[in-house]
Amino acid sequence: MDPLKRLLKLIKDNDVQEIYFRVTDMDGNVKHMTHDVKVIDSDAMTEGFDGSSFPGWKEINESDMVLIPDLTTAQMDPFLSVPTLTIICNVFEPVTGERYNRDPRGIAERAETYSRSTGIADTVYVGAEPEFFVFDDVKYQTDPYNTGFKLDSVELPINGDKSYEEGNLGHRIQTKAGYMSTPPQDSGQEMRSDMSAHIRAMGVTVEKHHHEVAPAQHEISTKFNTLVRSADEVQIFKYCVRNVADRYGKTATFMPKPVIGVNGSGMHVHMSLWNGDKPTFAGDEYAGLSESCLYYIGGIIKHAKAINAFTNPSTNSYKRLVPGYEAPVLLAYSARNRSAACRIPFGSNPKAKRVEVRFPDPAANPYLAFAAIQMAGLDGILNKIDPGPAIDKDLYELPQCEKAKIPTVCGSLSEALESLSNDRAFLTAGGVFDDDFIDNYIKMKMDEVTLLETTPNPVEFQMYYSV
């Protein structure tokens, strides 16, 4: 159906009263403004909005930007009592009429266009698996004289002897023992089903859900889609997860490492390239891969440290990227090894051949993360970057002399930003990213690094107060 006709039908069939327009800022946060449906016409669909308040966007003395709705993304919002339609928008410069260079969705669209222009692939498919925690109570304080946090969930092992009004029923998930557990230990089964229903209601195909490894940690898997649309769906996913949790009187977080000593939350990213109906990653090389797929992996490994700035964009991200918790630190690839940065999921059907990039986390802006991975992979194919031999051993159990030869992801956000500054040519190919965006992104993220590095940490009192 024509997108405009579909939009008008949605408005009529659902007695829509309001429409809210959504954009994603450089940090990955969704912003929106709501219009009364009665004032929406062809002119209102191209109204400007104030972008000067978004981190890393316009200066306050510069022109507002223009919002152009992508009508194909129109969906009913399932959470609001007033019938409300939600539409994702693209951002344009008001003077030139060109796409705003710092609009993350625009960067993702340019990555898709660049893929087609190279002749390597006309379609990029992406499937993301964002993990998340759900807590019953979260308290934190950053006052100069009172800094710290407290987390609680009925699932946590620390509540084994806690007194509850209805009694303590004793079913607790122990540290690192929650993977695919069943109710009543898995207290989130019905909540995840409700989350899944809301995600489906907003047009995203849900495949499965389960409890993750850590107490209070969960995963909902959705079906792959094209690069831009998959990034759209991650944003919808997060919106639904947070709002359903809130309705249950709980709070969901996509923070990569909220708890020390347990697994953090990753966002494994599955990618495959297609030309027409041909999967270009299938072949007769290692694990049934094509030569171009191996080169794609080579590009990801070569540029991984720069990619980290987008796939692991928080200071907290690097508290997850440590050995021992399934988060891959070593830049290797394998068909079996989950400790490898790039895993080849099993699949006998050529259409199932894909690369799973395991180091990203859900703090990432999905538009930027997917675009950066794709650009690295394309650079690998264009320059025939050899990823070296696959490693099917347990990487964490390798002798130190062997492990030292394998490159690693970054150990901090500051290292990732420095790597991005020095290794950016693969991103600017085809005008997908540009230096203005990259420089401003680095500046914005360095402010976060500085804040963390200049703020005393509670554990420092334990280590140093009595020195």
Output the six-digit token pair for 250.
């709980």
Contact indicator for 244, 198 with CB cutoff of 8 Å: yes
For the question of residue 358 being annotated catalytic, the response is: yes
For the question of residue 50 being annotated catalytic, the response is: yes
CB-count exposure of residue 226 (10 Å: 0-12, 13-18, 19+) = middle
For the question of residue 232 being annotated catalytic, the response is: no
Contact indicator for 127, 217 with CB cutoff of 8 Å: no
For the question of residue 418 being annotated catalytic, the response is: no
For the question of residue 131 being annotated catalytic, the response is: yes
- The single residue of 211, 358, 379, 424 carrying the catalytic annotation is 358
Q: Phi and psi (nearest 5°) for 65?
A: -110, 170
> What radius of gyration, in Å, describes the C-alpha atoms of the chain?
23
Residues facing 274 on adjacent strands: 123, 279
- The single residue of 219, 232, 379, 448 carrying the catalytic annotation is 219
CB-count exposure of residue 183 (10 Å: 0-12, 13-18, 19+) = exposed
Contact indicator for 245, 106 with CB cutoff of 8 Å: no
- The single residue of 18, 99, 338, 415 carrying the catalytic annotation is 338
Q: What is the distance between the alpha carbons of residues 365 and 391, in angstroms, rounded to a whole number? A: 30
- The single residue of 25, 27, 77, 131 carrying the catalytic annotation is 131
For the question of residue 460 being annotated catalytic, the response is: no
For the question of residue 166 being annotated catalytic, the response is: no
- The single residue of 27, 129, 155, 379 carrying the catalytic annotation is 129
- The single residue of 36, 50, 453, 460 carrying the catalytic annotation is 50
- The single residue of 233, 356, 361, 448 carrying the catalytic annotation is 356
For the question of residue 402 being annotated catalytic, the response is: no
Element (H, E) at 301: helix 291-311
For the question of residue 338 being annotated catalytic, the response is: yes
- The single residue of 22, 102, 172, 268 carrying the catalytic annotation is 268
- The single residue of 212, 232, 233, 361 carrying the catalytic annotation is 212
Q: What is the distance between the alpha carbons of residues 369 and 372, in angstroms, rounded to a whole number? A: 5
Q: What is the distance between the alpha carbons of residues 67 and 105, in angstroms, rounded to a whole number? A: 12
Name residues whose C-beta falls within 8 Å of residue 56's C-beta, 6 or more positions apart in sequence: 25, 26, 27, 102, 440, 441, 443, 444
Indicate which residues carry an active-site annotation.
50, 129, 131, 212, 219, 268, 338, 356, 358
